[in-house]
């Protein structure tokens, strides 16, 4: 992938339809319940963000994916990864995962479910299903991923980072948008999660200045 992708906010892949009416998934996690010194495994609870991340990262590792970027509206830690202990219920709980697989850029995205944790788990389940197909020997992973080619350059373009649909023609418009976004995402106001965002905004602004000859 040649251009940086946004971990936050969500960088939804070009051409992928968005879900209008979301529902709750039936994903859950079994937990031990202790009674009188005995334990059973039939207690189920809703997935947390940490659960979804664990499932997804495990499947990506087994798949052999590299250069992974998980993009969502989840708050980030200082290392750029989503904070595991936050609420998964967001206004836009979509998740997109960009990665390299055998030298080719790929993307998987899901926003069908009402919880970001469930969308993380859904992508993990999808990868597991693709690996199962590969094990049967009828098709290959390369064939299964043929329709999931990522287009990272557009997602990382400076005007997209500055939240323009198309490249603006006036420098004053770029400058005004940059200042508005920096004020909104400045770490002193929005916290540590905005450090990465502010950095990307600065990089995008620097690229725009070069293109406008400023």
For residues 7 and 70, the answer to whether their CB atoms sit within 8 Å is yes
- Same domain? For 56 and 131 the reply is yes
Q: 3-class secondary structure for 20-89?
A: CCCECCCCCEEEEEEECCEEEEEEEECCCHHHHHHHHHHHHHHHCCEEEEEEECCCECCCCCECCCCCCE
Model confidence, pTM: 0.63
Query: At what angle are helices 49-63 and 116-136 packed, to 10 degrees?
Result: 20
As a whole number of angstroms, the distance between CA 76 and CA 25 comes to 24
Contacts of 105 (CB under 8 A, 6+ apart): 1, 98, 99, 149, 150, 151, 152
> Which residue ranges in the chain fall short of pLDDT 70?
1-5, 28-45, 139, 147, 150-156, 187, 189-194
3-class state of residue 145 by DSSP:
coil
- Same domain? For 143 and 206 the reply is no
Q: Can you give the residue range of the structural domain that contains 66?
A: 29-151
Residue 92 is assigned to a structural domain of this protein: yes
- Same domain? For 36 and 95 the reply is yes
- Same domain? For 142 and 175 the reply is no
Residue 121 has a pLDDT of 94
- Same domain? For 54 and 112 the reply is yes
- Same domain? For 165 and 143 the reply is no
Residue 107 has a pLDDT of 92
Helices (H) and strands (E) in the chain, counts: 8, 5
Residue 49 is assigned to a structural domain of this protein: yes
Final residue in a domain of this structure, among 151, 181, 204 = 151
Tokens of 60: 């990506």
- Same domain? For 111 and 89 the reply is yes
CATH of the domain at 171: 1.10.287
What is the number of domains present in the chain?
A: 2
- Same domain? For 115 and 188 the reply is no
Residue 94 has a pLDDT of 94
- Same domain? For 46 and 146 the reply is yes
Residue 7 is assigned to a structural domain of this protein: no
Residue 21 is assigned to a structural domain of this protein: no
Final residue in a domain of this structure, among 122, 151, 180 = 151
- Same domain? For 112 and 186 the reply is no
Residue 73 is assigned to a structural domain of this protein: yes
Residue 33 has a pLDDT of 57
Residue 179 is assigned to a structural domain of this protein: yes
- Same domain? For 113 and 201 the reply is no
Residue 18 is assigned to a structural domain of this protein: no
- Same domain? For 97 and 123 the reply is yes
């Amino acid at each position: 992938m040649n251009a940086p992708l946004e971990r936050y906010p969500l960088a939804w892949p070009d051409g992928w339809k968005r879900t209008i009416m979301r529902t709750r998934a039936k994903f859950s996690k079994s937990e031990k319940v202790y009674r009188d010194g005995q334990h059973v495994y039939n207690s189920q609870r809703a997935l947390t963000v940490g659960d979804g991340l664990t499932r997804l990262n495990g499947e990506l590792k087994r798949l052999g994916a590299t250069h992974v970027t998980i993009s969502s509206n989840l708050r980030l830690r200082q290392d750029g990864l989503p904070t595991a202990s936050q609420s998964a219920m967001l206004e836009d709980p979509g998740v997109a995962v960009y990665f390299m697989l055998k030298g080719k850029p790929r993307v998987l995205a899901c926003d069908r479910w009402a919880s970001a944790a469930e969308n993380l788990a859904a992508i993990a389940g999808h990868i597991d299903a693709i690996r199962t197909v590969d094990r049967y020997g009828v098709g290959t992973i390369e064939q299964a991923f043929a329709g999931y080619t990522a287009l990272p350059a557009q997602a990382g373009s400076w005007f997209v980072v500055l939240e323009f649909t198309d490249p603006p023609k006036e420098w004053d418009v770029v400058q005004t948008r940059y200042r508005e976004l920096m004020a909104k995402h400045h770490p002193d106001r929005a916290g540590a999660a905005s450090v990465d965002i502010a950095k990307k905004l600065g990089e995008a602004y620097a690229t725009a200045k070069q293109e406008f000859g400023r």
